[in-house]
Chain A
Amino acid sequence: MFEPLQYEFFQRGLIAATMVGGLCGLIGVYVVLRKMSYIGHGLSHAIFGGAVVSYVLSINFYLGASAWGFLTALLINATTRRRKFIAADAAIGIITTASFALGVALISRYRTFTRSFDAALFGNILGVTQNDLYALYAVSAVVLVLVLALYRRLLFTTFDPEVAPFYGVRTEWIDTLFSLILAGTIVVSMQVMGVTLIAASLVIPPVTARLLTNSFSRLMALSVIIGALCGFVGMYASFYVDVSSGANIVLVAAAAFMLAMLYSAVSRRLATARGLAAPPLAPSPAAREHALFE
């Protein structure tokens, strides 16, 4: 039962998987509610480009990749805000794939690469070093402090970015800080989950939690717990089933999501039978058109 814990590399992997799960669960709430689920996928690809550039220029991976990710996130924000006819998903598609392509181009240009970028693409949780853990602790601490301090402002900005400024919320600052938080989160999660699987860690926990509650504060707490649990369970189980740990974590999360779907469907059926109003995610009776500007 405790056999895997004998190995130091596995202990590190377990800590990393749990923390990354919780961290992504926390940030994922905002990502999903802003309807930017695709940004995790896009930004991690963009950061891959940044990682290659940092390597070529011999810059520290964390600094180079974070700066690159932050700038990419800002660029996406700027593109969608300035030009209202370019939707966020399109902006993400253009900017992040271009950045990913740059990384691939650089790798193919300098064929003498000794470093394996497979780890970045698919994650290498067992290769997590003590320094990677320190970076993860630092980023988690900063993200936690920022999210707690900005909690009510972030909520309002996410709920209604048009109206929040009238109530004294500096939405442009909130958006910028959020881009920074997101870039940092993805950079430290990349080592664990890999570019290709990170989107699942950002999206599945909040969506699963959403099926269980209608309250924002509970959603946050549940999403963090679900993310951390999936990370822990997925990682631990991977030792026994001998499956890539990143993939295993995502599969566990997907299973949790399906359980929540089932629970939600059953409880809604029961609530309807008892005549109670609005279980979580009650269907809207009529699609309401957005028409802020007359």
Chain B
Amino acid sequence: MLHPVPHEIEEARPAVELRGLTCGYDGVPALSDVNLTIAAGDFVGLVGPSGAGKTTLLRAILGAVEVYRGQAYVEGRPVSGGRARAGYVPQLETIDWTFPVTVEQVVLMGRAADGWLPWSPRAARERAQAIMERLGIAHLARRHIRALSGGQQQRAFLGRALVSNPRLLLLDEPTAGVDIKTRDDILHLLDELNHEGVTVIMTTHELNAVAAHLPWVVCVNQEIIAEGPPSDVYKPAILKRTYGADMAVFEYEGMTLVAETPHRLGRAAGPHKARGRNGGQA
């Protein structure tokens, strides 16, 4: 169980502000009229079905989308196309795992734009070493990225994001495709970082296993459907609008849990017709 409340958040000093933001790719909006304020020190989960615009929302904070209306701000300053003021951890699925790089080389990429020598500055190397030790991957520094477990791979790319000491950390599906133990490890690690003052924003598909443990959840589907603590947001009406599917919500020992309406497929379906499509991804 994570800390029930995030590190003291500073309401007066938002880390991220999206004001009336409509943005997308190739002239097609993926998000419309998004208003969202995330306080410094908060720990936020973005949930929603595939294609809902969760990644786009992260990219908007990084300044890597076409903006059609509105404006994004990070720490009060408008986001432009330049260097992002955030550490970003992409979905592991987008990584080319056959590429010949070691863990240390990946972590040091986080400081690739510092200096013009072929080797990283000493300070960057020391910082990278400290980060790898902190993340428990220092002994893997010279391993190829392919030769790691899912959790170690996630840590290597988290290390790349942390090597430049970001105050804002954006993660795209950091718990996708890892086992339960690793998922818990990653969440605890993010929670620790959060308690050191890093604002954390992550996307996730896992409503119960992940988002339910976070202090603040934002439901996204082309727009912001709702936001709040999981117990406030996990309501059938809100989930129906987010996922386009009926989901049962129940309380169990103080936790709010969501159950997807089971599909009945194949011969066992009988007269019961499967209702709608489950928007969530397996």
Can you show 30 pairs from A to B with CB atoms below 8 A apart?
A150-B116, A152-B109, A155-B105, A156-B112, A159-B96, A159-B101, A160-B96, A163-B88, A163-B94, A165-B81, A166-B83, A166-B84, A166-B88, A167-B83, A167-B84, A167-B164, A217-B105, A278-B146, A281-B98, A282-B147, A288-B93, A288-B95, A291-B93, A291-B94, A292-B94, A293-B25, A294-B50, A294-B51, A294-B53, A294-B54
- Does any Cβ of A come within 8 Å of B86's Cβ? yes
Cβ-neighbour of A167 out of B52, B95, B98, B109 (below 8 A)? B109
Which residues of chain B are near A149, meaning CB under 8 Å? 116-118
B residues in contact with A45, CB < 8 Å: none
Q: Which residues of B contact A278 (CB under 8 A)?
A: 143-144, 146-147
Chain A residues lying within 8 Å of B97, measured Cβ to Cβ, are 284, 288
Contacts of B53 in A (CB 8 A): 294
Q: Are B109 and A290 in contact (CB under 8 A)?
A: no
Segment with Cβ contacts to B, from A5-13, A207-215, A254-262: A207-215
Residue A273 interfacial (CB < 8 Å): no
Enumerate B112-127 residues with CB–CB distance to A below 8 Å.
Answer: 112-113, 116-118, 120
- Binary per-residue interface labels of chain A (197-229) against chain B in the complex, 1 for a CB within 8 Å, 0 otherwise: 000000000000010011111010000000000
CB-nearest residue of chain B relative to A217?
B105
| Complex alpha-carbon distance, A159 and B94, angstroms | 11
- In the assembled complex, the CB of A166 is this many whole angstroms from the nearest CB of chain B, namely 4
Q: Say whether B147 contacts A152, CB under 8 Å.
A: no
Q: Does B129 contact A (CB under 8 A)?
A: no
Pair A159/B99 contact, Cβ less than 8 Å:
yes
Chain A residues within 8 Å of B160, by CB: 167
Main secondary structure of the interface of B (DSSP, over half): loop
B105 engages A215 (CB within 8 Å): yes
Shortest beta-carbon distance from B166 to chain A in Å:
10
Report the separation of the CA atoms of residues A153 and B83 in the bound assembly, to the nearest whole angstrom: 14
Assess whether A33 is in contact with B99, with CB atoms less than 8 Å apart: yes
Tell me if B112 and A155 are in contact (CB < 8 A).
Answer: yes
Considering the chains assembled together, what is the distance between the CA atoms of A164 and B54 in angstroms? 20
Give which listed residue, B81, B94, B102, B118, contacts A151 with CB less than 8 A: B118
Cα A162 to Cα B25 in complex, Å, equals 14
Q: Are B112 and A167 in contact (CB under 8 A)?
A: yes
Where chain A touches its partner, the secondary structure class is loop
Determine the chain A residues whose CB is within 8 A of the CB of B84 once the complex forms. Answer: 165-167
Return chain B residues, CB-CB under 8 Å to A158. Answer: 99
Cβ B118 vs Cβ A166 within 8 A: no
* Min CB gap A2→B, angstroms: 36
Q: A215-B102, A289-B93 are in contact. Are A169 and B113 (CB under 8 A)?
A: yes
A53 to nearest B CB, angstroms? 36
B174 CB–A CB distance under 8 Å: no
Known pairs A162-B90, A167-B83, A210-B100; A152 contacts B146 (CB<8 A): no
The answer to whether A290 touches B93 (Cβ under 8 A) is yes
CA distance A153 to B99 in the complex (A): 15
In the assembly, what is the distance between CA of A294 and CA of B128, in Å? 31
Give the total number of A-B pairs whose CB atoms are below 8 A apart. 124
Whether the pair B120, A152 counts as a contact (CB closer than 8 A) is yes
Question: Are B91 and A284 in touch, CB under 8 angstroms?
Answer: no
Q: Is A148 an interface residue (CB 8 A)?
A: yes
Extra 19 A-B pairs, beta carbons < 8 Å, given A33-B99, A282-B147, A291-B94: A33-B100, A149-B116, A149-B118, A152-B112, A163-B88, A163-B90, A164-B112, A166-B83, A166-B88, A167-B160, A216-B100, A216-B105, A217-B105, A278-B144, A284-B98, A289-B93, A294-B50, A294-B54, A294-B55
Task: Tell whether B110 is near chain A: CB-to-CB under 8 Å.
Answer: yes
Task: List chain A residues, Cβ under 8 A from B108.
Answer: 152
| Beta-carbon nearest neighbor of A289 in chain B | B93
Chain B positions within 8 Å of A216 at CB level? 99-102, 105
Residues of B within 8 A of A280 (CB): 100, 144
With CB as the reference atom, state the residue of chain B lying closest to A282: B146
Is A166 touching B86 in the complex (CB atoms < 8 A)?
Answer: yes
Structural contact, B109 and A156, CB atoms closer than 8 A: yes
- Contacts of A288 on B, CB cut-off 8 Å? 92-93, 95, 97
In the complex, the chain A residue whose C-beta lies closest to that of B82 is: A168
CB distance from B222 to the nearest CB of A (A): 11
**Would you call B132 an interface residue if the criterion is a C-beta within 8 Å of the partner chain's C-beta atoms?**
no
Interchain residue pairs A-B with the least CB separation, the first 9: A278-B147, A168-B113, A214-B144, A151-B118, A168-B83, A152-B112, A166-B84, A156-B112, A292-B94
A153, A160, A164, A293: the one within 8 Å of B55 (CB):
A293
User: B20-33, CB under 8 A of A: which get 1 and which 0?
Assistant: 00000100000000
- Cα-based distance from A216 to B105 in the complex (angstroms): 8
Which residue from chain B places its CB closest to the CB of A151 in the assembled complex? B118
How far in angstroms is the closest Cβ of chain B from A211?
10
Q: Is A57 an interface residue (CB 8 A)?
A: no
B142 within 8 A of A: yes
Does the CB pair A215–B98 fall under 8 Å? no
